[in-house]
């Protein structure tokens, strides 16, 4: 992987990990269009660490309050809920992705090779985003059942082309959750999901007998920095999009890329 390819893929990963347009789908399509060998395990590890750091940095205050709240009832609340309740909802919402990720691992890996299928999944993501346009937001509280349904949406987004943030935020909005609260839960829910992906890719790299001596650490460093910075920017962009009610407009991009992928393959 050349320096410019690493920079491009790092930018794609950083932006699309949190923008509602599917990072896995964009990476699969970019690797296909650039004729790069799919599934560079170490690259996946590096960019997942970068995007994990981005969301940790953005929500650092909430995370500190949640961690303190788990151990103390005197800790400050986060958006009207105790840290202990937030932690419980995040665990509940993570369970479906764990079940699907481990239970259908081979099916999911095969899906990355079907670029036309990725295109159709991106079209479906675009349709889901468009469906949120008439929603006014009823400001319902985040409940256990809502967290589980949002978690199921996240588990579907393991498929390449289905956006994790798009699926979880859209599902939360359809359940009547306030837009800002929907985004907060989606991004907090992404932390164990991204961490899990990092662990799986790292384990696969070790099992595959990957050699660190042959790695171009210059290219990896560039990808890491760009993914981290662009990831932080993407989180801020989504929050602005929700406040200004142009979140659904990302569906246009999903349809454009999806049509190109279907037409190309």
pLDDT in tens, 71-84: 888 888 888 899 99
User: In sequence order, what are the residues at sequence separation of 6 or more whose Cβ sits closer than 8 angstroms to the Cβ of residue 180?
Assistant: 79, 239, 242, 243
Q: Which two tokens stand for residue 53?
A: 């750091």
What's the pLDDT score for residue 32?
Answer: 73
What's the pLDDT score for residue 1?
Answer: 67
What's the pLDDT score for residue 233?
Answer: 94
Distance CA 179, CA 171 (A): 11
pLDDT in tens, 34-73: 776 655 667 777 888 899 899 999 999 999 999 999 988 8
pLDDT in tens, 199-211: 777 777 777 666 6
What's the pLDDT score for residue 75?
Answer: 83
pLDDT in tens, 91-108: 999 999 999 887 777 777
Mean pLDDT of 127-146: 86
Collapsing DSSP to helix, strand or coil, 106 comes out as helix
Label residue 114 by pLDDT band (50, 70, 90).
Answer: confident
Q: Which of 86, 40, 59, 17 is nearest to 216 (CA)?
A: 40
What angle, rounded to 10 degrees, do the helices at 179-207 and 217-243 form? 160
What's the pLDDT score for residue 265?
Answer: 58
Q: What secondary structure letter does DSSP report for 257?
A: H
For residue 51, what are the domain limits?
3-264
- Residue 151 scores a pLDDT above 90: yes
3-class SS shares of the chain: helix, strand, coil, % to 5: 75, 0, 20
Q: Using alpha carbons only, how large is the chain's radius of gyration in Å? A: 18
Q: Which of 201, 209, 214 is nearest to 41 (CA)?
A: 201
- Cβ distance 168 to 154 under 8 Å? yes
What's the pLDDT score for residue 139?
Answer: 73
What's the pLDDT score for residue 37?
Answer: 62
The length of the chain is: 265
Q: What total of structural domains would you count in the chain?
A: 1
User: In sequence order, what are the residues at sequence separation of 6 or more whose Cβ sits closer than 8 angstroms to the Cβ of residue 91?
Assistant: none
CB atoms within 10 A of CB 264: 12
Collapsing DSSP to helix, strand or coil, 140 comes out as strand
Label residue 24 by pLDDT band (50, 70, 90).
Answer: confident
| Greater pLDDT, 141 or 151 | 151
- Residue 26 scores a pLDDT above 60: yes
Q: What are the phi and psi torsion angles at 140 (to 5°)?
A: -75, 155
Between the CA of residue 151 and those of 56, 98, 117, 147, 212, what are the distances in Å? Answer: 19, 10, 23, 6, 35
Query: Dmax of the chain from CA atoms?
Result: 57
pTM score over 0.85: yes
What's the pLDDT score for residue 13?
Answer: 87
- Cβ distance 160 to 28 under 8 Å? yes
Strand runs labelled E in the chain: none
What's the pLDDT score for residue 108?
Answer: 76
Mean pLDDT of 115-131: 92
pLDDT in tens, 169-185: 999 999 999 888 999 99
pLDDT in tens, 207-260: 766 665 666 778 889 999 999 999 999 999 999 998 888 999 999 999 999 998
Q: What secondary structure letter does DSSP report for 177?
A: B
Distance CA 110, CA 7 (A): 26
Q: Which of 227, 196, 199 is nearest to 11 (CA)?
A: 227
Distance CA 128, CA 57 (A): 29
């Amino acid at each position: 992987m050349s320096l410019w390819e690493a920079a491009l893929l790092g930018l794609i990963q950083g932006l699309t990990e949190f923008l509602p347009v599917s990072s896995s789908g964009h990476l699969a399509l970019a690797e296909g269009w650039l004729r790069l060998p799919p599934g560079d395990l170490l690259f996946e590890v590096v960019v997942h660490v970068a995007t994990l750091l981005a969301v940790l940095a953005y929500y650092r205050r909430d995370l500190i309050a949640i961690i303190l709240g788990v151990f103390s009832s005197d800790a400050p609340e986060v958006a009207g809920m105790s840290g202990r309740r937030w932690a419980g909802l995040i665990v509940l919402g993570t369970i479906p992705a764990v079940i699907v990720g481990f239970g259908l691992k081979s099916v999911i890996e095969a899906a990355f090779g079907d670029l036309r299928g990725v295109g159709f999944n991106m079209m479906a993501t675009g349709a889901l985003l468009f469906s949120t346009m008439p929603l006014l937001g009823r400001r319902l509280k985040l409940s256990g059942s809502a967290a589980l349904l949002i978690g199921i949406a996240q588990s579907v987004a393991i498929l390449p082309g289905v956006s994790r943030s798009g699926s979880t935020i859209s599902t939360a909005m359809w359940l009547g959750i306030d837009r800002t609260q929907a985004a907060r839960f989606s991004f907090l829910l992404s932390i164990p999901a991204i961490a899990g992906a990092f662990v799986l890719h790292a384990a696969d790299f070790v099992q595959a007998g990957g050699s660190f001596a042959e790695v171009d650490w210059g290219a990896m460093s560039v990808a890491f920095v760009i993914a981290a910075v662009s990831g932080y920017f993407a989180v801020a962009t989504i929050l602005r999009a929700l406040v200004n009610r142009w979140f659904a407009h990302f569906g246009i991009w999903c349809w454009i890329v999806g049509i190109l992928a279907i037409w190309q393959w």
